[in-house]
C-alpha cells in the first residue's frame, strides 16, 4: 500500500531549484505544447519562478522517495492568466525568453505558436469566462510512476492525487468547478478526466482541435465529484 513508499505533494514558492525541476517535468511530459516551445529557460525563470512568486499561478511537485515524479500547475485566474502574465511582466518575460534562445535558438520557432495561444485565450476570456475561474494548466506523471506495476505495488495513483491537490485549493476559495484544455489527440488524459466525472466539450483553440474539460468540485468535502 501507499505507506510502503514515501510520498508527498509539495507546493512550490517560485525558488529557482524547484522551478528548474518543474521545467524538466513539463518538458518531459508535455514537451509538445505551446509554452514548452519557449524553452527550458523560459519555463523555469518565467513560468515556474516569476509567475508563481507573483501569485498568478500555483504549482506543486509530486515526490516519491524524494524523487520528482509529477507536477501540477493551476490558477484561479484562468480568464486573464495568459494575457496578464505577459502584460504585467514584459521585461521578465523578454529576459527569460532571451536566455532560452541563447541556450537553444530553435526556441524562436516556438514564439509564434505561443503568441497565437495567448491571443486565442484572450478572445476566449472576452467571450466566455470571468475570474475567479479555476484551471489546471498542466499536469502529468512520469511513466515510471504511473505504470500498472508501480500503482499495484504502492497503491499510489499520483495523477488523481495531483488533481485533488489543485481541487482542494479551489474548494478552499469557494470555487465549484475546475476546467482544463486538452488536445483532442491526448486520449489518456481525456480518459482520465472522464473517469473523474468531467464533462468534455470540443472546440478549436489557436487552430488546434481541443477539448474543454469541466470538472465539478463537491462544495462540502472538496473531493472531486465522481459520477
Ligand atoms: C494524464 C496522465 C497523468 C494520466 O495518468 P494516469 O492516471 O496514470 O493514467 P494512465 O496513463 O494509466 O491512463 C489513463 C487512462 O487512459 C487509458 N490510456 C492510456 N493510454 C491510452 C491511449 N494511448 N489511448 C487510449 N487510452 C489510453 C488508460 O488505460 C487509462 O484508462 P483506465 O484508467 O480505464 O485504465 C498521464 O497520462 C500523463 O502524465 N500524461 C502526459 C502529460 C499530459 O498529457 N498531461 C495532460 C495535459 S496538460
CA of 220 to the centre of ligand 1 (A): 28
C-beta of 141 in contact with ligand 1 (< 6 A): yes
The model's pTM is 0.90
Q: Is 227 helix (H, G, I), strand (E, B) or coil?
A: coil
Distance CA 19, CA 40 (A): 10
The per-residue pLDDT for range 63-82, each reduced to its tens digit, is 999 999 999 999 999 988 88
C-beta of 151 in contact with ligand 1 (< 6 A): no
What's the rounded mean pLDDT across residues 135-146?
Answer: 97
Question: What is the predicted pLDDT for the residue at 224?
Answer: 57
Question: What is the predicted pLDDT for the residue at 222?
Answer: 46
Domain 2-216 falls in which CATH fold?
A: Aminopeptidase (3.40.630)
| Number of other residues whose CB lies within 10 A of the CB of residue 167 | 26
C-beta of 191 in contact with ligand 1 (< 6 A): yes
Annotated domain spans of the chain:
2-216
Under the banding of pLDDT at 50, 70 and 90, the label for residue 223 is low
Question: What is the predicted pLDDT for the residue at 65?
Answer: 96
- Given a cut of 90, is residue 219 above it in pLDDT? no
Site to substitute for ligand 1 among 30, 43, 192, most atoms within 8 A of C-beta: 192
- Ligand 1 atom, smallest distance to 160 CA: 7
The per-residue pLDDT for range 1-55, each reduced to its tens digit, is 455 899 999 999 999 999 999 999 999 999 988 888 888 999 999 999 999 999 9
Under the banding of pLDDT at 50, 70 and 90, the label for residue 209 is very high
| Number of other residues whose CB lies within 10 A of the CB of residue 111 | 17
CA of 147 to the centre of ligand 1 (A): 10
Question: What is the predicted pLDDT for the residue at 53?
Answer: 97
Under the banding of pLDDT at 50, 70 and 90, the label for residue 221 is low
Q: What is the mean pLDDT of the chain?
A: 89
Please give the C-alpha separations between residue 162 and each of 12, 40, 65, 114, 136, in angstroms, as whole numbers: 13, 22, 16, 25, 10
Amino acid at each position: 500500500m501507499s505507506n510502503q513508499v514515501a510520498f508527498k505533494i509539495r507546493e512550490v514558492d517560485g525558488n529557482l531549484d524547484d522551478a528548474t525541476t518543474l521545467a524538466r517535468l513539463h518538458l518531459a511530459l508535455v514537451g509538445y505544447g505551446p509554452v514548452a516551445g519557449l524553452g527550458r529557460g523560459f519555463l523555469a525563470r518565467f513560468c515556474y519562478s516569476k509567475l508563481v512568486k507573483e501569485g498568478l499561478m500555483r504549482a506543486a511537485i509530486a515526490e516519491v522517495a524524494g524523487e520528482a515524479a509529477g507536477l501540477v500547475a493551476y490558477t484561479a485566474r484562468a480568464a486573464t492568466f495568459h494575457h496578464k502574465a505577459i502584460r504585467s511582466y514584459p521585461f521578465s518575460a523578454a529576459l527569460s525568453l532571451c536566455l532560452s534562445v541563447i541556450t537553444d535558438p530553435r526556441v524562436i520557432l516556438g514564439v509564434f505558436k505561443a503568441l497565437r495561444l495567448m491571443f486565442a485565450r484572450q478572445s476566449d476570456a472576452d467571450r466566455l469566462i470571468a475570474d475567479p475561474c479555476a484551471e489546471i494548466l498542466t499536469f502529468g506523471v512520469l511513466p515510471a510512476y504511473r505504470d500498472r506495476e508501480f500503482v499495484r505495488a504502492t497503491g499510489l495513483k499520483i495523477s488523481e492525487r495531483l488533481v485533488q491537490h489543485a481541487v482542494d485549493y479551489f474548494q478552499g476559495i469557494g470555487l465549484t468547478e475546475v476546467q482544463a484544455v486538452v488536445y483532442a489527440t491526448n486520449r489518456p488524459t481525456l480518459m482520465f478526466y472522464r473517469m473523474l466525472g468531467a464533462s468534455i466539450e470540443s472546440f478549436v483553440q489557436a487552430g488546434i482541435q481541443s477539448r474543454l474539460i469541466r470538472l465539478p468540485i463537491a462544495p462540502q468535502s472538496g473531493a472531486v465529484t465522481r459520477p
